[in-house]
Structure 1
Amino acid sequence: MGDDLGDEWWAHEGKSDPSEAEEDDETQEKQPTEKPNAQTKPEKRKRVTEKQVQAKKKKTSEQKECVTPQKETDEEKSTKPKKKRKKKKTITDVLSSSEPKPGCPADLQNLVTQYFSDKRSVIEQEELKLLDSCFLSSNDLTHTLSSYLKQVCPKWAKIQKQHTEKSSVVLLIVCSSALRAIELIKQMTTFKGAAKAIKLFAKHIKIEEQVKLLQKGVTHIGVGTPARINALIEKEGLSLRALRYLVLDWNWRDQKLRRMADIPEIKLDFMKLLETGILHGCKEDKVKIGLF
């Protein structure tokens, strides 16, 4: 009876066998365990991605760590006291720290010797040496150009009258620039008297115009730059046959405290001028050189 009641109860519940009920209980127990497994799958994915991100971060951090030592070394280099290089003293530095001294014949002679030391043989260099008799007295920095010329050319009035050759000058004054040439012409007004002076520089004046002026009449004094004087000699517009005095604007200094002989391009042109006939005229005692 008891068994029959049990079977009826099971049948009433819709279940045929107790073993089936046990199986249902097992499935019910398994179902909750399966659900968490389904939920853990995305977590695993997340963990994988996080691991990948962490690995990437480690790589980038390692790369940064590799780069940072270079930055540190650069910073260390920048913080380290740099050794000060000794600056080469320029002509301006030397002259600004020393008192200006008047030029003398030895200065010009040394300049000529140094310039031609690697361009001439020993015998030819001996021929370039000038005697003291080739020089006029030098400016002691107290003279104006007029007073200096009056001192070195005391017989100027007579010399000026005797000069009748065209395309040539008796007195040639050499300076470093056109502006300086104009200034010097203004300074010697009390000296030149009736003598005619000509500007011998390239600024705003064509060389053809200067050649025509020299050929047109007698010119006594020429004031200009070595470059233009050389050009006129090459074109045969200016002759040195009548030249008796060569005055160099030796002591004057520009804004950088450079003399004419201190500027490379002007020194080159000046040396060329000396070679064209000045040194030869000095050797023959026809030309005298003065350092103003």
Structure 2
Amino acid sequence: MGDDLGDEWWKHEGNSDASEVEEIEEKQPTEKLNKQTKTGKKRSLTEKPPKAKKKKKTEQKECLVPQEKKQNDGDKSTNTKKRKRKKKTITDVLASSEPKPGCPADLQNLVTQYFSDKRSVIELEELKLQDSCFLASNDLTHSLSSYLKEICPKWAKIQKQHTDKSSVVLLIVCSSALRTIELIKQLTTFKGEAKVLKLFAKHIKVEEQVKLLQKGITHIGVGTPGRLCALIEREGLNIQALRYLVLDWNWRDQKRRRMVDIPEVKLDFLRLLDSGILKGCKESKIKIGLF
């Protein structure tokens, strides 16, 4: 069979070329779209890991922050501990300070400070003691016997005149039972024939001490403020015959504390003064000495 000579073959070739160009143009945008989608996927894939890294970083930061806080808290606690160690105690302050002998003004200030919020202005004025109510104070050179000989030169006569039971002529007030025993030992050169009675709460009941005071005549009593208050309240000890009240003012214990530096003893001591001793001082019946 022969070719159709009537057909213009060059026209068909042009059409075929055009169709091929159109097909190529159609393929190119599809390929571009595919490439864009592929690149988009790649970008999405590449962008996801950094997000995870950021989360990890934030998580690490969140974990590190409390650790730093804990470290700071630990540093603060160590600093506070160090500061607490550096604080001075009362014993350190008292040890560094030089001992000064007590004077009547010290006792007067103690009384006014304690009763300032408990009494009226008129009552506070009544609590003020004159200089004539006080004996000579110890200048830290006397022993107990030498001090008592100085303030009671006529002791032999005074002890003979005392005939009342449940009472004493000389009352020595100290801070503890051990100190009471020490002071009684120091009275050997002064007391003479006088009877001495220890009046403290350690291992001795109040009833036993009341019986001892009622049995015979006691000239000197040495004891602690708490037990002396209890005896006066129960009428086991009468202060009408009392003439001398000696306070163990300057002595210090192992912690360098005086009798008035110990809170419990201080309160009992002020109660003792308020139980009738200050009134006796105002009436010039009792005189106070600071040993």
Q: Are residue 71 (structure 1) and residue 70 (structure 2) matched? A: no
| Distance in 2 (alpha carbons) for counterparts of 1:228 and 1:59 | 76
> In the TM superposition, what whole-angstrom CA distance separates every residue of 1:255-282 from its partner, at most 9, and x where no partner exists?
1101001111111000110011100000
- 2:39 paired residue number: none
Q: Are residue 234 (structure 1) and residue 233 (structure 2) matched? A: yes
TM-score (norm 2): 0.76
> In the TM superposition, what whole-angstrom CA distance separates every residue of 1:22-76 from its partner, at most 9, and x where no partner exists?
xxxxxxxxxxxxxxxxxxxxxxxxxxxxxxxxx8x99898655423211113324
Question: How much has 1:106 moved relative to structure 2?
Answer: 0.5
Q: How does 1:119-198 map to 2 (within 5 A)?
A: 119-198=118-197
| Alpha carbons of structure 1 residues 158 and 265: separation in structure 2 relative to 1, 3 Å | same
> In the TM superposition, what whole-angstrom CA distance separates every residue of 1:202-251 from its partner, at most 9, and x where no partner exists?
10111111011000000000000000001011111110010000000000
- 1:282 paired residue number: 281
Residue identity in the other structure for 2:263: P
Q: How does 1:66-105 map to 2 (within 5 A)?
A: 66-79=62-75, 82=79, 89-105=88-104
- 1:220 paired residue number: 219
SS at match of 2:203: coil
Residue identity in the other structure for 1:149: L
SS at match of 2:222: strand
Residue identity in the other structure for 1:66: E
| Distance in 1 (alpha carbons) for counterparts of 2:205 and 2:75 | 59
| Distance in 1 (alpha carbons) for counterparts of 2:236 and 2:60 | 76
RMSD (Å) for aligned C-alpha atoms: 2.4
Residue identity in the other structure for 2:176: S
| Distance in 2 (alpha carbons) for counterparts of 1:78 and 1:91 | 29
Residue identity in the other structure for 1:155: K
TM-score (norm 1): 0.76
Q: How does 1:33-52 map to 2 (within 5 A)?
A: none
Residue identity in the other structure for 1:110: N
Question: How much has 1:159 moved relative to structure 2?
Answer: 0.3
Residue identity in the other structure for 1:118: D
SS at match of 1:257: coil
| Alpha carbons of structure 1 residues 170 and 79: separation in structure 2 relative to 1, 3 Å | closer
Residue identity in the other structure for 1:243: L
Residue identity in the other structure for 1:152: I
| Alpha carbons of structure 1 residues 73 and 194: separation in structure 2 relative to 1, 3 Å | same
| Distance in 2 (alpha carbons) for counterparts of 1:60 and 1:166 | 93
Question: How much has 1:88 moved relative to structure 2?
Answer: 6.3
- 1:259 paired residue number: 258
Question: How much has 1:89 moved relative to structure 2?
Answer: 4.9
- 1:18 paired residue number: none
| Alpha carbons of structure 1 residues 243 and 60: separation in structure 2 relative to 1, 3 Å | farther
| Alpha carbons of structure 1 residues 60 and 241: separation in structure 2 relative to 1, 3 Å | farther
- 1:269 paired residue number: 268
Residue identity in the other structure for 1:74: K
SS at match of 1:223: strand
| Distance in 2 (alpha carbons) for counterparts of 1:282 and 1:221 | 19
Question: How much has 1:91 moved relative to structure 2?
Answer: 3.0
- 1:200 paired residue number: 199
> In the TM superposition, what whole-angstrom CA distance separates every residue of 1:163-192 from its partner, at most 9, and x where no partner exists?
000000000000000000000000111000
| Distance in 2 (alpha carbons) for counterparts of 1:60 and 1:248 | 77
Identity of aligned residues (%): 77
